[in-house]
Structure 1
Amino acid sequence: MRAPVVTFVATLTLLTGCGGNTGSADAAPSASSRSSNPSGSSPSSSPSGSSSPDAGASSSSPQRLRVQVRRTLPHDPEAFTQGLEMSGDTLYEGTGLTGRSSVRAGLPGKRPAARAELPAEVFGEGITLVGRERLWQLTWQDGIAYERDPKTLRERRQVHYEGEGWGLCHDAGGGRLVMSDGSPTLAFRDPASFRKTGEVTVRMAGRPVSELNELECAGPHTVYANVFQTDDIVRIDTRTGEVTGAVDAGGLLPASERSGAEVLNGIAAIPGTDEFYVTGKNWPKLFRVRFVPTS
């Protein structure tokens, strides 16, 4: 699974070029380094049927985007962020690592108003909300999806799935969940039963893109995904799997604050705006940003 990652990074480097890529309404941060893999190697993919055609997908270059920082807020540096999502004024966050996994809810930049811990042996992953009805939380290699009450975060039930769990988001317009497992394949699932309903392979300029991590559904047929072990975010058309936008988020967290910080991970669309909250694993900052075209 390493070769596709190298291909992706090389392709994105050609798209974004060099120099400063992060604009800021507060201050221009300095360049940041990339983090190593803290959770093992990538999974293998086992596609089984597709709800969208892969062949013949557009091979045009994706739109080049950069991060424009609108506001900077504090973030718990002990939170190994695996999932991030906004609902109204509430920011939900799922965290990972065995013995430290949780799901939290509260105002952005504030102490969580609610929190639920996972069993000590479980490694938590991505989260998403289905309206006000339910919250789903993935696990990395445990094959368990937890359904929770969004208000109390209490567990309602567990649903088992095959393979690894990485990122998750709810495509409300399409009436489905979108799930990543570190491979180039995004799986579609029923938001009530968690049953798999289809899948699509993600490609950029005709080449598969693997290590898709945290996901954020943002508009019709549109998913933003962190690319693990990089400072890159891709925008994906879920009808075709084609990457339509490539965001270079390098330099978002200043080098002076990188001590103990892991990789960029966590994207949450802010309702009623064209802005997002983004952060990373063990980052001390949460950023309110826009993704804007490079000049």
Structure 2
Amino acid sequence: MNKRILYFAVIALLACGCNGCKDNKDSSEYITVSPDAGTTYKSGDPVSFSVKYPADVKPDSVVYVMDGKRVGSSNDSTAVTLKTDTLILGARVITAKVYHAGQAQEFTTNIVLLAAKAPEELTFKVEKVYGHDTSSYTEGLLFQDGYLYESDGGRVADGEGQSSLRKVDLATGKPVKKIDIDPKVFGEGISIVGDKIIQLTYTERKGFVYDKDTFKLLSTFENNVGIEGWGMTFDGKKLYMDDKTNRIFFLDKDTYRQTGYIDVYDDKGAVNQVNELEMIDGKLYANVYQTDDILVIDPKTGAVLQKIDMKALYPEASRNANADVLNGIAYDKVTNRIFVTGKKWDKLFQVKFVKK
């Protein structure tokens, strides 16, 4: 047989097998779920779920489940509408459980939920300038009891210097207490919980717990939450940490195990490389690595509420030699002061965020 004729004969048989033999197939194979996978919505938009099926399928009921939680049901193809204003942002998986003739079949789709509106644009005013130790590759920064606490990153094997944990005098920018950590480990974000300092590591998937006053290492823990350890903060009840993606994890303050998460989105899509974190008046403030932006994030939904353009704070052309990117936000609750700095910067700035 001519190869060309054989080719078209095979194609014809495949077409029949896929499309032309519907009568030999279970009708449930032609059930579809709406909306289409990947459809985007803004937070607050109603989302209508429905199932379409051929005339010979008459389901007893259809139950809709989002991320494991029931959100509605129907006895026919009537749509079920879900409010989205309180949902966390990001990809949400929807499963339609179709009950028919004593059996149940599941059909899935997904939506992507974005922030309801574009973040408000803010800028800043510099209120005071302090010194900052240029040997510190700032990974974590916080303020408590009149001092800055700082995690300085680096790994000796990579030629970056040794990571350290520091207690810093605000007026001089110099450490009043400092310990170097394991030279094989790259230190990252820190938080204070009671009388302990918690420190993340970069790719080592472990965390350190220190006595706040003496810096004595009390214990270590396995960090199996994110792909990497980046920023960290504490709201008085739970810890938050990120891992270079747009995900911020919730951790138990005593066990350091994951209890939940949010994904950071603005009105356009996911915002990745969320880095150093600080909690200020119930909102998460976050550096975005390799940018001059600070984000204000809703800790309940992940929505970017405000974006602060810090480009003019310390222009690259004016910075000290070896200065790297903006990173480090600390908040003094007592005096309502906000401090920001960068990796190996010679300055730390007291700032106020204002509308443009």
TM-score after normalising by structure 1: 0.78
Out of 147, 150, 156, the position equivalent to 1:90 is 147
Q: Of 278, 281, 285, which aligns to 2:347?
A: 285
Identity, in percent, stands at 35
Give the residue type in structure 1 aligned to 2:314: L
Q: Could you tell me which residue of structure 2 aligns to residue 217 of structure 1?
A: 279
What's the RMSD between the two structures over aligned residues? 1.9
2:310 maps to what in 1? 249
Letter in 1 for 2:267: A
Aligned residue number for residue 157 of structure 1: 219
What SS is found at the alignment partner of 2:175?
A: coil
Q: Which runs of 5+ in 2 are unaligned?
A: 1-66, 70-85, 91-112, 157-161
1:113 to 176, 186, 190: 176
Alignment of 1:269-280 (within 5 A): 269-280=331-342
Matched, 1:240 2:301: yes
Q: Residue 43 of structure 1 aligns with which residue?
A: none
What secondary structure, in the 3-state scheme, does the structure 1 residue paired with 2:151 have?
Answer: strand
Larger RCO, structure (CA 8 Å, separation 6 or more) = 1
User: What is the alpha-carbon distance in structure 1 between the residues aligned to residue 241 and residue 177 of structure 2?
Assistant: 25
Q: Which amino acid aligns with 2:308?
A: V
TM-score w.r.t. length of structure 2: 0.65
Q: Secondary structure at the match of 1:273?
A: coil
SS of the residue corresponding to residue 207 of structure 1 reads coil
Match of 1:45 in 2: none
**Letter aligned with residue 134 of structure 2:** P
Equivalent in the alignment of 1:58: 115
Q: Distance in 1 between matches of 2:268 and 2:217?
A: 41
Larger proportion of strand: 2
Larger radius of gyration: 2
How far does residue 58 in structure 1 lie from its aligned partner after superposition?
A: 3.5
Residue segments in structure 1 that go unaligned for 5+ positions in a row = 1-47
CA positional deviation for 1:117: 1.0
- 2:244 match: 182
Please state if 1:69 is matched with 2:133.
Answer: no
Shift of 1:206: 4.4
| Matches of 1:49 and 1:258, distance apart in 2 | 52
Shift of 1:57: 5.2
Shift of 1:112: 1.3
Q: Distance in 2 between matches of 1:73 and 1:49?
A: 50
Provide the rounded CA distance (Å) in 2 between the counterparts of 1:49 and 1:238. 22
The amino acid across from 2:309 in the alignment is D
